[in-house]
Structure 1
Amino acid sequence: MNILADQLLEEYLASDLKSVRTHSRKLTDYYLEFEPVTLEDCFDEETMKLFIFARETSPKNVRAALSALYEFAKGKGYINRLELFPILEEETSGLNTKGRKGETSFIPRKYSLMNLYANDIPLYNDIEKKLVVRAYIALCLGAGYRPVDVENMKLSDYNRETNAVINPYKVMEKTNNISVSVVDYIKLIPPASTCIEEFWDYFWSNKQMEDKEAEKFIFSVSKTKPVPQVRIALKQMTKNMGLKMELAPRDLRANMLLHSLYNSNGASLPDLIRIFGNNSITLVNALENYYKGTEMNMIQSYDPAIENAEEDEESESKKKDYIIERIIRDTKKAILLKRLYNNTCQICGESIKVNYNKNYSECHHIKPLGKPHNGSDTWDNMLILCPNHHAMFDLGCIAIHPETGEVFQSENDTYTKIQNKIHIIEKEHKLNPKYIKYHWEIRFLPNIYPIKSSLSTQYYIV
């Protein structure tokens, strides 16, 4: 009997097993974060390890919850009764509450992800291993696939003529009360497209297949699972790059998202949300790393010591302390304002749910901090926004009218009203009119440009 992951969880939670009360919350968190569709998704080893070892609770307890669901599925006959739960209890023994083993490894901004397409590592002396590993990496870096997506990819999910692969995330929007897929296919560009073409031409171009739906794209040609070979390749490549870090296959997608933000100075965020959705835990983690690094660089570049290189070491030390204190103060102010709005966007009212009891939002400065704007780091210059509207404010795509308080969006060399008023808790949060006017005149009006209103079905990831 084939059932979906949601059905399995419903059956488990409705059962009279004693373990339900202990594990229900952890399993609900797991489903909210990773949204498994099939049982293969639900019990994917890489996905489960990511959840187990990156949690703030005990990895041992989280493993026990997933193991209980696994045994329940076996008892129902939904999976092979002889298969053992893939993550041994010994793997979680002796780890602290955060189990550092599963944290995402992010490649620093100064290193290019193009290094992961390297063609000269010892593993690649075997042509078939080379093609399989490079295709695997290309799908993760070029289309944002997770390991489970690569494993489940069918031959029919790739179009050789257009070099496009199916988008497995199916982010939906409603148009005229009809739900449609925002992005159906992701078009690959070099070097990712080259890796996939070479793989296809070697393994599949001359084979006659009656049912492409039944054939898996990569796993049908690999004698052993590709993941161990990918791990070996990544270890060799990061070593060649001079990085003292361990990069796992599941880290590839996270780094693709982060470096897409780096390479576009944040401008790619709306497209990433349209492709992967705003509830993706991996995208949220990438955003946190991107904005953390961006804000730190911005504040450090405004170090007054740069303006007067002749000042003594004691003075320079005091200024560095001031910068650190300012970063801490900024964080506290943003946190307090986020709490006031319950991490809800003041434009659209949406809130990104990271897990069962945690939501994510971003703090936007209407008049930017630092030179040349020198905006104030105070509540009257702050808005709490979702990542999409944060990016649109930063890019000058939307703005608050300085006289009416209405929200406008640039469109076809003009602007149109999209909202009557921004949500404001007036007793505690008042915006300064001079900051609103500054953003309108300096950031919004000079940057009016056409914005596509129709839904696109094909995207490039750069």
Structure 2
Amino acid sequence: MSDRIFGHIEGVDEGQYFSNRLELSFSGVHKPIQAGISGSQNEGSDSIVISGGYEDDEDYGNLIIYTGHGGRKDGSTKQVVDQELIRGNLALAQNVKNGLPVRVIRGRDKKSKFSPEEGYRYDGLFRVESYWKEKGVSGFNVWRYKLKKIEDNLIFEENILKEESEDYEKTKRKEEIVQRIIRDTKLSQEVKKLYRYKCQVCDVTIETSSGLYAEAAHIKPLGKPHNGPDSLDNLLCLCPNHHVMFDYGGFSILDDYDLIGEYGKLTVNNKHQINKEFLKYHLEHFYDEKNRY
């Protein structure tokens, strides 16, 4: 395991400027001299630089739609081949799965009003909320990441807990914070009741001390940039395991309801009219057969 730091760097303030990539590297805020993504595909990404190097990047200040690396000619912003979910791209995907924050550094970019006029600026911690693939401006697949600024009162630090014992060596434990939002609206209750809280993939019903439990999963995600609707034809009733697998592209669903990446067929109630355009969207944007383990 490396000494990679997921969080602020001691002694570096948000808003601090750096003249060049070498100075940025020496500070520890973003160590690679050239790469835009710092990280390991096994651990996650600790920092990224956004500076207009990719034509598909979108910068909205506290919200960034970031493009993964690869697929360009040297010195050009244009894609010439498809990107793959490997190396830095896979590292950023690990941040989504494990709830890790990423440091964002903005470099000079004439297209963005949020970039510095010169050099590089550390703009704080962002949460990597989701990732997906889509056809970019040049017609090739790119991996994209939704980054949202973390509020100042949300602290991501490594808290070391000590176990006091004379019988064995003291153990260090790292406390990790993982946040996952589960929306429970009237519509989500409706789809769960329709299936009697049984997962449409594995047919499992979870019993708890307070009653049955299931989760409503949106096929086409809500909000920018996907803009899926909060409607019954865009919802599935899933167990927590299959909800996570579906959101992170572990499997998808064909228009005949056959599962891909998972065995079997989706159970569909005849009162539940699923929009097959949303299934197609999920298949094209979230499922990546090349990266199956």
Higher strand share: 2
Using the size of structure 2 for normalisation, the TM-score is 0.43
Q: Please say which structure displays the higher CA radius of gyration.
A: 1
